[in-house]
Amino acid sequence: MRVLVTGANGMLGIDLCAMLERANHQVIRTDVSVKEGMTVPAWEPMDITSAHSVAQTVLKFQPDAVIHGAAYTDVDGCTRDPDLAYRINALGTWNLASICGTHNITLAYVSTDFVFDGAKGTPYTEFDTTNPLNPYGASKLAGEGFVAKLCRKHFIARTSWLFGVNGKSFPGTMLNLAKSKPELNIVCDQVGSPTHTVDLARKLIELLDSPLYGTYHISNTGHCSWFDLAKYTLELAGVTSTEVKPMPAAQWPSPTVRPAYSVLRHYSLELQGRDDLPTWQEGLQEYIRLRG
């Protein structure tokens, strides 16, 4: 299959493209930029906020499928500048959904647990009502709407608390901070399912072969708080010189309201008998091994 990937130079994109190639797909990597100092395989510049750039690139390469991972992922940045969040996450996805829908191209859109408000208190299924608390979640949900409306052959894959070796992630930040800090105060009253990019990528690639279009929750299984995740990360890396202390979210200096509970139940995969995702602890062990 010929697969065009947006956000190919991002944390998920790098792992996803490498895994697509290993699965013998032809990959077209697209992005707007590459992080300074990072070496990445050849890629095509495509700004998803430009309808012209999107149409030109998609029509030039004529992919069978597009996996759309590009986004404005800085959650606090989205809160400070909601227009930019909507331009990239909503308009950008609108542009892709429009061209994929018109040309009957399969579109897999990576979305987020932040479409939920966290009030449910038990794991969210794909059939639960969305109610984002912040502009990042709201703009990603707007993207979901365009994908569902404009593109018949679509997958909406919601994931959560993503980490991978090729980007800035919470476990990576903890390991870097631990090099200089004897103590870390970490939020203990927000609960979610941390997810390794490699596990998400494997499932996204599997979805491309499915005729069961629709919405899927894809995360590592189990759940924890940021505090639990920080503790286990340092434990796995053998860091003993830094103490992790619990702190309520109310004390964390952030302009963004976040859901207190955003655990995703993989109900679509469960119903199809295809929920074989590893636990978040297994995902983290693999991340630490790959990080070296």
Ligand X SMILES: NC(=O)c1ccc[n+]([C@@H]2O[C@H](COP(=O)([O-])OP(=O)(O)OC[C@H]3O[C@@H](n4cnc5c(N)ncnc54)[C@H](OP(=O)(O)O)[C@@H]3O)[C@@H](O)[C@H]2O)c1
Catalytic machinery residues: 136
Q: Which of 141, 125, 130 is nearest to 78 (CA)?
A: 141
The reply on whether position 161 binds ligand X by CB under 6 A is yes
| Residue 258 buriedness (CB in 10 A; 0-12 / 13-18 / 19+) | buried
171 binds ligand X (CB under 6 A): no
Q: Where in 82-111 is the site for ligand X (CB under 6 A)?
A: 88, 92, 110
Q: How far is the CB of 240 from ligand X (least distance, A)?
A: 27
Q: Does 48 bind ligand X (CB under 6 A)?
A: yes
Provide, rounded to whole angstroms, the least separation between the CB of residue 271 and ligand X: 22
Q: Read off the tokens for 190.
A: 């927000």
Pick 92 or 273: Cβ nearer ligand X? 92
73: which 2 tokens? 């992922």
User: Distance from CA of residue 287 to its chain's centroid?
Assistant: 16
| 150 close to 97: Cβ distance less than 8 angstroms | yes
Token pair belonging to 287: 């991340």
**Virtual torsion, Cα 118, 121, 127, 132, nearest 10 deg:** -10
Residue from 12, 20, 96, 105 in contact with ligand X (CB under 6 A): 12
Task: Indicate the residue among 49 and 215 with the shorter CB distance to ligand X.
Answer: 49
- Cα gap 85→132, rounded to integer Å: 14
Is residue 42 helix, strand or coil? coil
Segment near ligand X (CB under 6 A); pick from 2-10, 17-25, 57-65, 232-240: 2-10
Smallest separation (angstroms) from ligand X to the CB of 102? 20
Number of residues that bind ligand X (CB under 6 A): 28
User: According to CB under 6 A, which one of 162, 175, 207, 277 is a site residue for ligand X?
Assistant: 162
Which of 4, 28, 29, 49 touches ligand X by CB under 6 A?
A: 49
Rg (CA), the chain: 18
Task: For residue 15, state whether it binds ligand X (rule: CB under 6 A).
Answer: no
Residues within the interface to ligand X (CB under 6 A): 6-7, 9-13, 31-33, 47-49, 69-73, 88, 92, 110, 112, 140, 159-162, 167
